[in-house]
Structure 1
Amino acid sequence: MKIEQIYTGCLAQGAYYIVSDGEAAIIDPLRETQPYIDRLKKDDVTLKYIFETHFHADFVSGHLDLSKKTDASIVYGPTAKPEFDAIIAEDNQVFKVGKIKIKVLHTPGHTIESSCFLLIDENGKQQALFSGDTLFLGDVGRPDLAQKAASMTQEELAGLLYDSLYQKILPLDDDITVYPAHGAGSACGKNMQKETADTLGNQKISNYALNQKDKKSFVKAVTEGLLPPPAYFGMNVAMNKKGYENFDHILAKGLHALSPKEFEETAELSGALILDVRNNEEFSKGFVPQAVNIGLNGDFAPWVGALIVDVNQPIALVTNEGEEEETVTRLSRVGFDHVLGYLKGGFESWKKSGKEIDRVNRISAAQFENEINIKDAKIIDVRKESEYEAEHLLDAFNKPLAYINEWSSTIEPSEHFYLHCAGGYRSMMAASILQARGYRNFTEIEGGFKAIAQTDLPTSDFVCMSKILK
Structure 2
Amino acid sequence: MNIKQFEYKPLSQYSYAIISDGKMAVIDPERNPEIYYAFAKANNATIIAVIETHPHADFVSSHLEIHKETGATIYNSAKTGADYPHKAFDDGDQIELGKAVLKSINTPGHSPDSITIVAKEGDDTALFTGDTLFIGDVGRPDLREKAGNMKAKREELAEMMYDTMQNKYSDLPDDALVYPAHGAGSLCGKGMSDAASSTLGDERENNWAFKKQSKEEFMDTLLDGQPFIPAYFGYDVDINKTGAVDVQPAVEKVNFEDGSTATGLIVDMRDEQSFKKGHLKGSFNIQAVSDNAKFETWLGSIVEPKEKFTLVIDFKENKEKLLQRIAKIGYEQQVEKVITISGDNLQSTPALDLEDFSQNPDNYTIVDIRNTSEVEQGKFFDSALAHPLHELRDAANQIPTDKPIVVHCAGGYRSAAGSSILEKKINGVQVYDLSDDVEKFK
Q: Output the TM-score relative to the length of structure 2.
A: 0.93
The residue type equivalent to 1:305 in the other structure is: G
Q: Look up the match of 2:270.
A: 278
CA distance in 2, matches of 1:66, 1:151: 27
Alignment of 1:334 onto 2:350: no
CA distance in 2, matches of 1:366, 1:154: 47
Alignment of 1:356 onto 2:356: no
Deviation (angstroms), 1:300: 0.5
Q: Look up the match of 1:430.
A: 418
Residue of structure 1 aligned with 2:365, choices 375, 378, 392: 378
CA distance in 2, matches of 1:403, 1:169: 39
Deviation (angstroms), 1:317: 1.7
Q: Look up the match of 1:299.
A: 294
SS in structure 1 of the partner of residue 196 of structure 2:
coil
CA distance in 1, matches of 2:269, 2:244: 25
Change in Cα spacing, 1:117 to 1:175, as seen in structure 2 (3 Å) is same
The residue type equivalent to 1:129 in the other structure is: L
Q: Look up the match of 1:417.
A: 405
Contact 1:421 1:448 in 2 (8 A): no
**1:87-114 residue CA offsets vs partner (Å, 9 max, x unmatched):** 1123131111111111111111211110
**What is the number of equivalent residue pairs in this alignment?**
433
Residue of structure 2 aligned with 1:319, choices 302, 313, 318: 313
Q: Look up the match of 1:17.
A: 17
Alignment of 1:35 onto 2:35: yes
SS in structure 2 of the partner of residue 320 of structure 1:
coil
Alignment of 1:387 onto 2:374: yes
SS in structure 2 of the partner of residue 363 of structure 1:
coil
CA distance in 2, matches of 1:133, 1:119: 17
Change in Cα spacing, 1:136 to 1:286, as seen in structure 2 (3 Å) is same
Deviation (angstroms), 1:304: 0.7
Q: Look up the match of 1:444.
A: 433
CA distance in 2, matches of 1:202, 1:375: 51
The residue type equivalent to 2:23 in the other structure is: E
**1:217-252 residue CA offsets vs partner (Å, 9 max, x unmatched):** 211211112244222111111111123322111110
Q: Look up the match of 1:465.
A: none
The residue type equivalent to 1:329 in the other structure is: Q
The residue type equivalent to 1:137 in the other structure is: I
Change in Cα spacing, 1:391 to 1:170, as seen in structure 2 (3 Å) is farther
Contact 2:396 2:426 in 1 (8 A): no
Q: Look up the match of 1:219.
A: 219
Q: Look up the match of 2:393.
A: 405
C-alpha RMSD of the superposition = 1.9
Deviation (angstroms), 1:195: 1.4
Structure 1 residue ranges without an equivalent (≥5): 454-458, 460-470
CA distance in 2, matches of 1:58, 1:129: 21
Contact 1:361 1:444 in 2 (8 A): no
**1:394-440 residue CA offsets vs partner (Å, 9 max, x unmatched):** 43333221221332120133432211122221111011111222444
Change in Cα spacing, 1:150 to 1:444, as seen in structure 2 (3 Å) is same
Change in Cα spacing, 1:289 to 1:88, as seen in structure 2 (3 Å) is same
Q: Look up the match of 1:99.
A: 99
Residue of structure 2 aligned with 1:145, choices 123, 138, 143: 143
CA distance in 2, matches of 1:444, 1:90: 51
Deviation (angstroms), 1:330: 0.8
Change in Cα spacing, 1:76 to 1:375, as seen in structure 2 (3 Å) is same
Q: Look up the match of 1:290.
A: 282
Deviation (angstroms), 1:259: 3.4
Structure 2 residue ranges without an equivalent (≥5): none
Q: Look up the match of 2:131.
A: 133
SS in structure 2 of the partner of residue 362 of structure 1:
coil
Contact 2:90 2:115 in 1 (8 A): no
Alignment of 1:79-90 (within 5 A): 79-90=79-90
Deviation (angstroms), 1:257: 2.1
State the identity %.
Answer: 33
SS in structure 1 of the partner of residue 420 of structure 2:
helix
SS in structure 2 of the partner of residue 159 of structure 1:
helix
Contact 2:79 2:112 in 1 (8 A): yes
Range 161-170 or range 105-114, more displaced: 161-170
